[in-house]
Structure formats: structure tokens, C-alpha cells
Chain A
Amino acid sequence: MSKRSLRDHSATRLSLVALTVVIVLLFLLLPLAQVLQQAFAKGPAVFWHSLQGEDPLAAIRLTLLVAAISVPLNLVFGLAASWAITKFDFPGKSLLVSLIDLPFSVSPVISGLIYVLLFGAHGFLGPWLIEHNLKIIFAVPGIVLATVFVTFPFVARELIPLMEEQGREEEEAALVLGASGWRTFWSVTLPNVKWALLYGVLLCNARAMGEFGAVSVVSGHVRGLTNTMPLHVEILYNEYDFVGAFAVASVLALLALVTLGIKSAVEWWHRDELAATRRH
């Protein structure tokens, strides 16, 4: 009898694994392969050539710049917010939690429009900005702001459940032993959450590089200046330059794969430590 149940068990497991593999192949690998196939449809020389122009390079630079600014900012914001929420009690805490979720629930287009209403020429701060010759909307600062807004919840959402589960005992112990707040944070809180923080940052980075809607609203679509990679893919596609569009798309996918690779490498590097924390 135990033999049969064991066989049943392995059959279930096998079919589940097969299903997962099929889904991954169908919905993840096939589209990715399709993107690469389209990118190389006219050979590697054309692929390479279509990435050489001023505009694709500018789009790649801008995307990396936007990610390099917004991800560290959100790392700090997210860490501070989740620390405050999970380790302290204060009035308005639940309001803060729902505010953090706001960018998830609001459509990215609306997130972009918020900034147009705020910084646009006829927006709340528009006239003052024009008077002082400051450009926010339809320029890099606006794109960064929109990206920061959209990617805001990723780090905090990764950290809050974990920090809640870990509780406050270790911090309290550190404080009782006389450590300062900073010391407690650097030596107790941060090491406890660093893996969740890493995942949060990776998610945040993936979205920052891939964001389309909000950035599209505030970009102004000036080629070579305010087009990020996703916007540039759309432009090239609309220009009937399919090889170019898919070449830039494949670079975008490659950047995502690189971040995943970095994550795996870091995990492998610290595999002993990771195993220990998981057991614990």
C-alpha cells in the first residue's frame, strides 16, 4: 500500500514538473527566443549596426542612468519605510502602509499625469519652474521622478513581511546592551534582511528599466534625449524598423538577464550563509 502511494506521489510530482516546464517554455522562453530571432532576422551584422546609431545608444544610456538614480533612492526609501513600519509604533502607520502600495494600485499612466499636473507649464509649479529655467517634465528629472514613483513599493514590499516576522527582539536586545540606533540598524537589522533587500532591489531595477506607461507620459519622446529603451523600442517598431526594435528589446532583455545572473552569483557566493538562514 505504501508502495502505491509512493508511486502516486511521484506521478503527481512528475506531471506538476512537466506542467511547469511547459508553461515556462511557452510563456517565457518562446517569446524571448522570438525576440532574439526577430533581432537577428537579417543577420548579426544588421543587428549590430542597428545598435550603433546615436539614438539607440542614447536610449540605453538614459535607461541605465534612470535605473542608477532611482534604484538607490528607492533602496534608501524602502529600507527606511519598512524599518519605521515594522520596528516602531506611531500614529498613521496603516495610512503609510497603504500609501506605499499606492503606486501598485494606480495605473502608470496616471502616475505620469500626476507629474504633468504638478510640473507641467500650466501645472501647480509650472510657471515658477519656467521662470527659473528649470526643466522637470519632458526631461531627465521627470523621467526619474516617474520611475521612482512607479518602483517605490518594490523594496518596501519585500522587506515588510520579513521584518514583521523577525520581530523586534534582536533590536531590543541590542538597544538594551547599549548599542546606538545606527549601530543596531547596521549590525542587527540590515544583516537580517539583506537577502530580501537584494530581491527587492532586483525587482525594483527590472521595473525601473522596463517601465513604459508613466515614462511615456512625461518623456516628450525627443529622440536621442528623452527616449528610454522601452520607448525607443516602440518608436523603432512604428518606423517599420523591426530588426532595430527587436535588437533594442533584446538588449533590454539581456540587461534583465544580467541582473538575474548577478543575483545568482551573489547567492552562490554566499550559499553557506543562505543555507544557514533558511534553516533558521
Chain B
Amino acid sequence: MIFTTRQTTLPTKTARPSLLSRRMLLVAGALACFAGGLAGPVTARAAEQKTLLNVSYDPTRELYQKLNAAFIPTYKDAELKINQSHGGSGKQARSVIDGLDADVVTLALAYDIDAIADTGLLAKDWQTRLPQNSSPYTSTIVFLVRKGNPAAIKDWPDLIKPGVQVITPNPKTSGGARWNHLAAYAYALQANGNDAAKAEDYLSKLYANVPVLDTGARGATNTFAQRGIGDVLLAWENEAILSLKEFGDAFEIVVPSISILAEPPVAVVDKVADRKGTRAAAEAYLKFLYTPEAQEIIAQNHYRPRDPAVAAKYAKNFPEVKLVTIDGAFGGWRKAQETHFADGGIFDRVSVKK
């Protein structure tokens, strides 16, 4: 009896076969999407085409877009595609260490590539493999101030005046910020007769005037230019010139009395390039950066070119500044990193003391 009841009630209860089949469709759709997602990369890999990934730091987006467009037609051995990834230099190095498949790294400073080399992804002597410390272009650190320079900032001592707001990114994550920090320290050493304690005191007064530490150079530029925070931005020269172009004449560049020669280096990541079979293309790509054609693009994008002829042609764009070098003034990046930016280093001490 119960059985017959069930037999008669069930058809009415399941009077919604459409619902069931709709759910089935949904599930099938999801599976199809998933399969599509899996198939995508496979087909991309099957095509006879080489893909390079250039993992770079923040302000080089525009530069490498143009350099890539110039390099790709000159490379004949394979059909080339160059992908770009940008972010704070230290963060980018961390991503490569964690497995971001960079064929080449073009970072803000040598230490970040050293950190990658320490994990065995590329040879420790990477910086000797290309000319001029593997840095096809250089830059320096300048001040960007608001139109008319209302805070009257002329040189490093003006940055520690009470009430002046200084914008610089966080040296723990940003390469540009580390150059800023070292340039300031180089000035303070020189001004105080190489008294390290007084130089440190200068830095703590400087960081006391910093309202916000962004993670990357571009973030700091946006804080200063877009959000209108701060009286002066410590910036890459290239970034400062770019801001002038982007925002018209809302800003002015102030060149300090002394600054630092910033050498952003480039390197092939051996293990990744060998695994992906892209070594030849990656090496050709980096060598291309030293050609006159590339050096022109570099100068046009406000980086200081290495090629003497190109440098002479664009000399009026790059004012002469007294520059200290990382090797001369700080004993190389490993030493500078350890004394200034490691845990418990000078940056930690001066940024806590407020």
C-alpha cells in the first residue's frame, strides 16, 4: 500500500524535471569552462613562438613597451612575444624567487638580483656578464616640488625643516626608495665630515617628515601628484621628468647639490631561460639594450644613456650633478643592503625614532 502511494505521489513531486536539467546544464557549463581554461595554455605553448617574460620595476613600463616594440622586429630566430610585469623592485625579486617565470629581470638595483642569485636561479657573477655593471642605462635621484616651489626646497637640508612633508616610498619594498635613502645618507655624511651618527640623525629627521611610505616608486609619485600629499617627492630623475610631461607645469624639478649614480641592472635568469629554452632570445634582448637604437629610446624615456654619442646628443636633458657611486661610497650593494635595509639596520632605526 505504501509502495503504491509512493508510486503515485512521486511523479507529481518531481513535476520539475526542468530544474534538474537546468542544474545539470550549469554543472556541464562549469566543466566546459574548466576544460577550456586548461586547454588555453596548452595550445599557446604548442605554437612555434617564443615568449619572454621581463620582470621589471615600477617606472620602466613605458620604457620597455617601446624597447620591446623596437627589439621584436630585429630578432629573426623566432617569433617573439615579450610579456612585462612591473612592481616595486624588491617585491618583484620576491616573486621571481617564489617562482614567477622571468626569463630576464631588469630591476632597480643590483641587490635585488643578488637576492635572486642567492637562491641559485642565476650565476652569482651575473653582474660581470654584460658591460658597465650590467646596467645599460643609469639615472639619479632628484626632487620634484610643486609649481613655484612654495616650500622653498633647494637642497637636502631643506627636507628636514619642521613642517616639510617629504614623499618617498618604502625602502624595504622599493628600489627607488633605497637609492633615495642612500643619496640622502651620502649628502649627510659629506655635510657632517663623515660622522655616521650625525648622518643617521639627519635620516631620522628626514623620515619623521614622511607622512606615508608607498610600496613602489609609481605609488609614491601618484601620492604626490594625484592625491596632492607632500611638499617634495624624492624621485628617480626619469620618473620626475615623466611627471612633468604627464601633469603639465604643475611641478618643478630641483636638482640637489649631490646625488647618487643609480645603476638599474639587467640579467638573464639562467635556470628559467634554460628550462623554457629561451636563453638565446633572452641574451639577444639584453644585448640589444646597449645598441645605439635602444640607447636613443632610453634617452627619450628620460633615462641616462651609456652610449657616449647618444649621451652627448641628449646632454641638455640631463643636468650635471655631483654623483657618488654605490661601490665608492657604500662598498657595494650587499654591504649597503646589510647596513641600511636589513632587519635592525639603519632604516629600521631611523624610521622608528620619531
Contacts and interface: CB of A to CB of B under 8 A. Distances in A.
Main secondary structure of the interface of B (DSSP, over half): helix
A68 B99 contact: no
Interface stretch (B28-36, B249-257, B308-316): B28-36
B305 interface: no
A122 interface: yes
Contacts of A72: 26-27, 29-30, 33
Nearest to A71: B30
Contact of B16 (A133, A139, A183, A191): A191
Contacts of B20: 186
Contacts of B99: 119-123, 126, 129-130, 137-138
Contacts of B119: 121-122
A177 interface: yes
Contact of B98 (A121, A183, A187): A121
Contacts of A224: 83
Nearest to B34: A69
A239 B19 contact: no
A116 interface: yes
B85 to A, nearest CB: 5
A135 interface: yes
B62 interface: yes
Interface residues of A, number: 43
Contact of B53 (A116, A179, A190, A222): A222
B222 A220 contact: no
Contacts of A144: 37
Contacts of A238: 58, 61, 218-219, 222
A225 interface: yes
Nearest to A117: B98
Contacts of A225: 83
Chain A CB within 10 A, most for which of B26, B58, B95, B99: B99
B25 to A, nearest CB: 11
Contacts of A76: 27
B27 A69 contact: no
Contacts of B83: 222-225
A73 B246 contact: no
A222 B98 contact: no
B284 interface: no
B30 A73 contact: yes
Interface in B1-51: 2-3, 5-6, 9-10, 13-14, 16, 19-20, 23, 26-27, 29-30, 33-34, 36-37, 40-41
B171 interface: no
B97 interface: yes
Nearest to B5: A177
A145 to B, nearest CB: 12
A116 to B, nearest CB: 5
Contacts of A87: none
B85 A178 contact: no
B41 A140 contact: yes
A239 B26 contact: no
A239 B23 CA distance: 43
Please provide the 6 A-B residue pairs with the shortest distance between their CB atoms, ordered closest to farther. Answer: A72-B30, A121-B99, A120-B98, A68-B33, A220-B100, A138-B100
11 contacts: A68-B29, A75-B26, A76-B27, A129-B99, A135-B41, A144-B37, A178-B3, A186-B14, A194-B19, A224-B83, A239-B61
Given A179-B6, A220-B100, A223-B84, 20 more contacts: A65-B36, A65-B37, A69-B30, A69-B37, A76-B27, A119-B99, A121-B99, A122-B119, A137-B99, A138-B99, A138-B100, A177-B2, A190-B23, A191-B16, A220-B95, A222-B83, A222-B85, A237-B222, A238-B218, A240-B246
